[in-house]
Amino acid sequence: GVDNIDLEAAKQCGVIVKFAPNGNTNATAEHALGLIFAIARKVPFAHNTLKQGVWHKKPFQGNELFGKTLGVIGCGRIGQCLAEAARALGKKTIGYDLYRAIDSNVEYVDSIDEIFTESDFISLHTGGTKVIVGERELSLMKPTGYLVNASRGKNVSEDALYAALKDKRIGGAALDCYEKEPKKEGEAFVSKLRELDNIVLSAHLGASTHNAVRKTSLEVAEVTAH
């Protein structure tokens, strides 16, 4: 996306801004799927415990993905890619989007509320800075439901999510992006979400693969050349 670029300033400086949307599609969809596995099977928590030299099994009993319903909010390139992977895992995918792809792996619903009430896992793949998941939406989720956001940090109210997770009103969450993110490598990450034991966190890694960087670079070069 280009929402982190001052397009008017770029125009005034004679800088050409091009959109290269395809290079990181698979990388981001795979990362979202990885976050789903991580929170459902509690892999990071089990890993950290073993790293500390303690063997535990019972606290980390997880949930399988097979037969569950995945709700996708934002059914563009990445949402469709994730839905295709979910289908291979035996998951039903329902989706909500203002624009519906004709050739789709998603069963579209008419109301976004249906995503929250019917899904076992909810994954966001939207843009912009509007809050999509707040206190009301979290209250609609199943008590066993999981929320995943590998899209835009401001799409989720972190205060509302913190309260829901702390009170165990939903099963868990996995985030790759946040309302406020460090600007520099190695900078401190400040968030009360770190206190919780039912959330998985990663540092905006959705598009961070060697493959995606190469594909995106080539795509930018080809788009600019035209």
What residues are labeled active site? 152, 181, 204
Residues 119, 86 contacting (CB under 8 angstroms): no
Q: Which residues are CB-contacts of 149 (< 8 A; sequence separation ≥ 6)? A: 123, 124, 133, 155, 156, 173, 174, 175, 176, 177
- Please name the residues in contact with 94: beta carbons below 8 A apart, sequence gap of 6 or more: 69, 70, 71, 72, 106, 107, 108, 109, 114, 115, 118, 119
